[in-house]
Amino acid sequence: MQNVRRVTAHVLTGAPERLRDVRSGAAFDADAYSRMKHGDLDAIEALGGELARVLLADLPSLVSSPAAPVFPVAYLEVPPSCYFLADVVLRAVNERRHAAGTAPGRIVKVHKDSVTHTDYATATPEQRRAELSRIAFRLDEPIEGNAVVVVDDVRVTGHAEATILRALAGGRPASLVTAYVAVCDDDLARTPQVESALNQARVTSVLDLLPAIRAGRFVLTIRFLKRALASPDLARLVGECPRSVVEAMCAGAEATGPSFVTAYAEGMAVLEAALGGPGGPRDGGRGGPVGGISQVAHA
């Protein structure tokens, strides 16, 4: 595999509940990170904006190169939070490229044939390797000769990074860059539960996303969808959500496949009841990835 450059906005150290940035010594904003993972658009734009500034400062060639950069994101149907982070970073890069007269970059999908069955954030390194080994990744769009930037939220063990880079290497990109909101230092990386602590630092219930949902500052992520479908608060959530969000959740689950729907049968029954029963009207905004940024955030 060719050399890979890594860019990160924050290098984390400390205990999972008291993280700080190695460079600045300041406390890391775990609350914003937690909201970002669950689809809070204000948090996504804040953290994505930080990453974009670091990336553009470290790699000015992303603006000047005639070859348009590509930002691959791996998902099945409902995107992960890194899709929306990549969208924020891409918009910042394309704004600079437009001013420089260079062609715009784009997001490309790396197709996954299934989603993780376990909570990846709480898994051991061995469980992470086993989980990733059963998922097939397929790149359907050409990336040969392009600068490839893989945007992600956090790097803990590096297993997910290695998996996506293997899927991309066969596309013969001109260069490979990984860009993270946060990377754990070596000591912290030996504590994989740090990712779970980050995910739940602010969002202890799916109801915590209601202010963002009501304000139209929410995008559906696969983490939020899985957590909502398994939550005892789901009935209250759908009762207080706009119908369009409930439709997007139902459409996203159905698009992910029968095994996913079966795994969350009780939660699906709650969604279907809110929509008038099985076969009720579905919107889902299928103009892009299910739950995509064009569907909710820019409505």
Q: What one-character-per-residue DSSP string does 117-141 give?
A: SS-GGG--HHHHHHHHHT--EEE-S
How far is Cα 123 from Cα 218, in angstroms, rounded to an integer?
A: 27
Write out pLDDT tens, residues 168-219: 988 999 999 999 999 999 999 988 789 999 999 999 999 999 999 999 999 9
CA 107 to chain centre: 13
Q: Which two tokens stand for residue 207?
A: 């109801």
Average pLDDT, the chain: 89
Within 10 A of 31 (CB to CB), how many other CB atoms are there?
A: 14
pLDDT, position 290? 59
- pLDDT tens-digit readout, 216-246: 999 999 999 999 999 999 999 999 999 999 9
**Amino acid occupying residue 87:** D
